[in-house]
Amino acid sequence: MIEPLPEETVRRLVAAALAEDVGAGDVTTAAIVPPDRRGRGRIVAREALVVCGLPLARETFAALDTAVRFEDVIPDGGEADAGATIALVEGPAGALLTGERVALNFLQALSGIATLARRAVLEVAGTGAVVLDTRKTTPTLRAIEKYAVRVGGARNHRTGLYDAVLVKDNHLAVAGGITEAVRRLRAAGRDPATVEVEVDDLAGVEEALRAGVGRLLLDNFTPEQVAEAVARIAGRARIEVSGGLRPGRLRAFAEAGAHELSLGALTHSAPAVDIAFDMETTA
Q: CA separation (Å) from 130 to 21, 83, 162, 240?
A: 38, 32, 22, 9
* 243, 276: one domain: no
The per-residue pLDDT for range 143-198, each reduced to its tens digit, is 999 999 999 999 999 999 999 999 999 999 999 999 999 999 999 999 999 999 99
* 55, 78: one domain: yes
Terminal C-alpha separation, the chain: 40
As a whole number of angstroms, the distance between CA 101 and CA 95 comes to 11
* 62, 162: one domain: no
* 76, 175: one domain: no
146 assigned to some structural domain: no
28 assigned to some structural domain: yes
Residues counted in the chain: 283
CATH assignment of the domain containing 50: 3.90.1170.20
> Residue 188 belongs to what domain range?
155-262
193 assigned to some structural domain: yes
For strand 38-45 and strand 260-262, is the pairing parallel, antiparallel, or unpaired?
Answer: unpaired
144 assigned to some structural domain: no
* 223, 249: one domain: yes
43 assigned to some structural domain: yes
167 assigned to some structural domain: yes
CATH assignment of the domain containing 218: 3.20.20.70
134 assigned to some structural domain: no
In what order do the strands lie in the sheet containing 166-167?
Answer: 130-132, 260-262, 238-242, 215-219, 196-199, 166-167
Query: How many domains are contained in the chain?
Result: 2
pLDDT at 282: 76
* 34, 113: one domain: yes
> Would you please indicate which residues are annotated as catalytic (active-site) residues?
101, 136, 168, 198, 219
Q: Are 280 and 126 in contact (CB under 8 A)?
A: no
* 53, 111: one domain: yes
* 43, 17: one domain: yes
* 111, 177: one domain: no
pLDDT at 45: 98
pLDDT at 283: 64
As a whole number of angstroms, the distance between CA 43 and CA 53 comes to 12
Global pTM?
0.96
* 104, 54: one domain: yes
**DSSP for 206-258?**
HHHHHTT-SEEEEES--HHHHHHHHHHHTTSSEEEEESS--TTS-HHHHHTT-
Q: Are 110 and 90 in contact (CB under 8 A)?
A: no
Q: Are 41 and 96 in contact (CB under 8 A)?
A: yes
* 94, 160: one domain: no
As a whole number of angstroms, the distance between CA 152 and CA 110 comes to 10
Q: Kindly give the parts of the chain with pLDDT less than 50.
A: none
160 assigned to some structural domain: yes
In sequence order, which residues have a C-beta less than 8 Å from that of residue 119 and are 6 or more positions away?
Answer: 247
* 167, 113: one domain: no
